[in-house]
Chains A and B, each alone.
Chain A
């Protein structure tokens, strides 16, 4: 069974500002992002009849967002999840349209990731007395393992031991993404950093995560709109054609931390999902000109590049530190600054950036960016458009054992 190559597109993207301390509800931010994406696509409330979101109990449901905007839905559902969800529910949107349930789907994520629910924090007390632990939490929380940095760290450390991956190589990821963010007026952190800045920042979890190895936490909402290629022809923007998509491909042992039972623990689930993504798109890693990697930590792109075959297993440290991933390099990655610098959205901002790049309309400081006119001078405060980019890939991360992917073309 093949995919639905080039039959569906992303036709609109939108977001709120990336801030800390929004002082707003996820409802307020969610409607703003969906409305912005509709406006970007040239769609009004009567054109959108499907809605999907993902959340971890920290957001507003689709039915409320749709009602506020006067959208009458023929299809909606709200899924549970964080990282790796964006690509997954873009695929579900395609399936819903293919099944005839609806025609145009707004896919959104709204979260106060800084001022409300923070990842890995102490669970909210359910009542008086000690927090009751059940299931997976019994294997981890009593040992002081709850945050993502803690839950992923055994993979990172074993990779360093097995392959000699260094903190300097990891820091190169932050350096590259910060370079890109310096050319993104929307980014929360726009200051460039050095390898030393990363290595001198305080430890969060050793041996792989200094403070600057970790993504930022921000409050924001993001939205992409998916419709058929037929419908896309009449709309305002050049479509980003979806060549293939995968949703939460797993390792043999998956969640929550059972994957540590199964070697190689240094392998990312993209090893499995990539086969589907590349087969259905009919392309190979070498054809991809631009990537967007889920950068929860500087280490996650290393493992995604290996898993999806952009380099051999164990060579991710060299891949990220050799200039390839920087603007001006052979295959730039996370050109918005990603979650290490632009904002924390559980991955959707990385897809939005690739859509804008494929339009050749990265909204940088080039006066003519709306018309696709760029200087391609990637100096600080300048251009972040990748020249002549035609093919882009997003690689999502849920855990070392969970990954999603999205390959799009101009």
Chain B
């Protein structure tokens, strides 16, 4: 059993390969066997063509913070010693901005992962909340779970930001 913060991870057929790849130090996404498009959310069919078959494909594990949050109050007791902790929506570098159904409504699909922004040198600890901002470049890292599995996380990369970084002004810290 792979346990992380009191949760039993990888108990799901769609996700098993994802955590196994992470255990090998790879971030993978599903590639559709029919249309060949990648998808960032893990699922059982291709939202572009409905094909049911896919393969896991390694990606570079690099991207930029597309949105973020800082959880100040732990809803789950497992995170009580982490608050305040940043959570990031990472846009991966592969396959950005594919128009949805021809782009009729200006909708576009990218590969995005939810993860914690963790410390550069320790994937078991959160990054300082002051260091999270939209537009910063990040790189995948992995928190070991046991049983050869790992949980993908992201840390700040030693690269210039993708655009002017943005974080909310805070009157009340």
Contacts and interface: CB of A to CB of B under 8 A. Distances in A.
Interface of A: 120-122, 129-135, 138-147, 150, 153-155, 157-158, 160-161, 167, 199-200, 202-208, 210, 252-253, 257-258, 260-265
A210 B172 contact: yes
Contacts of B42: 138-139
B64 interface: no
B44 to A, nearest CB: 10
Contacts of B172: 199-200, 203, 210
Given A138-B10, A154-B69, A157-B69, A144 B82 contact: yes
B74 interface: yes
Nearest to B143: A142
Most chain B CB atoms below 10 A, which of A144, A154, A161, A199: A144
Given A143-B114, A146-B75, A253-B109, A167 B171 contact: yes
Given A161-B134, A203-B73, A262-B100, A144 B79 contact: yes
Nearest to A139: B114
Given A150-B71, A150-B75, A160 B12 contact: no
Interface residues of B, number: 60
Nearest to A125: B6
Interface in B1-18: 1, 3-12, 14-15
Most chain B CB atoms below 10 A, which of A120, A121, A260: A260
Given A157-B134, A260-B114, A144 B40 contact: no
Given A130-B8, A207-B167, A263-B110, 20 more contacts: A120-B75, A130-B6, A135-B14, A138-B15, A142-B7, A144-B116, A145-B71, A145-B87, A146-B76, A150-B87, A157-B134, A157-B168, A158-B66, A199-B172, A202-B72, A203-B72, A206-B168, A262-B100, A262-B108, A262-B109
B70 A206 contact: yes
Interface of B: 1, 3-12, 14-15, 39-43, 47, 66-79, 82, 84-85, 87, 89, 97, 100-101, 106-112, 114-116, 129, 134, 151, 166-168, 170-172
A196 to B, nearest CB: 9
Contacts of B75: 120-122, 144, 146-147, 150
Given A138-B10, A154-B89, A207-B69, A261 B168 contact: no
A200 B173 CA distance: 9
Contact of A205 (B15, B69, B108, B112): B69
Most chain A CB atoms below 10 A, which of B8, B73, B78: B73
Contacts of B87: 143-145, 150, 153
